[in-house]
Structure 1
């Protein structure tokens, strides 16, 4: 896992992510609603809610927006009827793709996801067709700064229970087992570290290298899926060219 940075794939999209921040906040709001519905609004008793809030903070979601989402979910649980669905398929060049959806209309979501795969040179597959290529992991990304000592942050992460630490060009990447994610994240937070991202993610076992043409098509598929209101997360094993800017 240490041998390949996912970050350069994320980095190319940063300006697009910033431009879509309102949509991201809406998606995180839905995650908060699900977390509250399943575990209540008490942060001390609901680790999933704590993790979603950490993700919200890493995406610069305002504190009052987070609190409003929790209150809304607490007071309107009867109206929260989202179903969690996972779709799997293939993008251009056989890239493996996993799409996580939160929806109140399964037929609508299935139709939309299938249409987008078809439109951008991919195809939707059966459940489990690519899931075996990924491992669920906690991932914490911290920006490299002069006042952050690499050995110190590595030891802090490993002592907290992280299973892997990687120093990339511009960031530190920390991976955990899903069960240890909350503990590691909270310990690093207590130590004063700020996160570029902190979430449970799907890490591929291997990557498919793309040329510029396939990279452009793959990025269009990812962007179109992420633009769909029902889609929460898109995971893939595409390895974009270093010069690719999306």
Structure 2
């Protein structure tokens, strides 16, 4: 596998860790809140909540914060209502961009997201214009360590129902069908620690951009991820370490 042909590019952008964590906490708290309002407080029967809790714990969000959010959502019968919306479009150079948002004001979100696309050389498109370029998959990332036997891990993952298990850079990447994600995760979680475990969107092909377009694309991704209403940003933009250094560090 060359580069990150099937996987998300590892983020290389340098950003304030405190600010980044605050954003993550806000987004995951909203997801937990919406999951509870939709399906109740029991993660055993509420798959959406179970997956939100998995993400929250992977990001080391304190249990007290999680419990407060669940209690607030369970007790708030007439408060804020979040609506799930997806946006699709093209970044500079034609890279595909798929955005998932969770908002209490869809007009505000649509305006802000359209502005981000326009400002950074992209175009917000119609529903369905790029979603067909992505596959919905369960993804499990496990950091490579000296005590992990690669062949043993891959065999265990495939036997549990994974579609693919490959080693690349510093991680083992395991892909599953969305409906098999929970089963594979449970089969492996007693023996392995996941750096990330989520159902995500994997691009079928990648877009390589000129330096000019790559710089704008990085700014577009940053602008979208910085929006509190945006939960996830998926794209098929592929950038090498060398190109990243050129466009970011000059």
Please classify the TM superposition score into its range, dividing by the shorter chain length.
over 0.9
- Aligned-partner Cα distance in 1 for 2:67–2:236: 35
Which ranges of structure 2 fall in alignment gaps of 5 or more residues? none
Distance 1:16 1:89, change over 3 A: farther
SS at 1:10 equivalent: coil
Matched residue, 2:105: 105
The number of aligned residues is 244
Moved >6 Å (runs of 4+): none
- Aligned-partner Cα distance in 1 for 2:130–2:75: 38
Q: Deviations over 1:64-102 (max 9, x none)?
A: 222222222112243241010000000011000001111
The question of whether the paired residues in 2 share the 8 Å contact of 1:96 and 1:237 is answered with yes
Pairwise mapping of residues 111-122 of structure 1 onto structure 2 (< 5 A)? 111-122=111-122
Which ranges of structure 1 fall in alignment gaps of 5 or more residues? none
Distance 1:103 1:219, change over 3 A: same
CA RMSD between the two structures: 1.9
Matched residue, 2:24: 24
- Aligned-partner Cα distance in 2 for 1:67–1:187: 26
The question of whether the paired residues in 2 share the 8 Å contact of 1:33 and 1:80 is answered with no
SS at 1:112 equivalent: helix
The question of whether the paired residues in 2 share the 8 Å contact of 1:215 and 1:241 is answered with no
Tell me, yes or no, if structure 1 residue 4 matches structure 2 residue 37: no
- Aligned-partner Cα distance in 2 for 1:101–1:186: 28
Matched residue, 2:67: 67
The question of whether the paired residues in 2 share the 8 Å contact of 1:47 and 1:182 is answered with no
SS at 2:169 equivalent: coil
- Aligned-partner Cα distance in 2 for 1:105–1:136: 26
Moved more, 99-108 or 15-24: 15-24
Matched residue, 2:136: 136
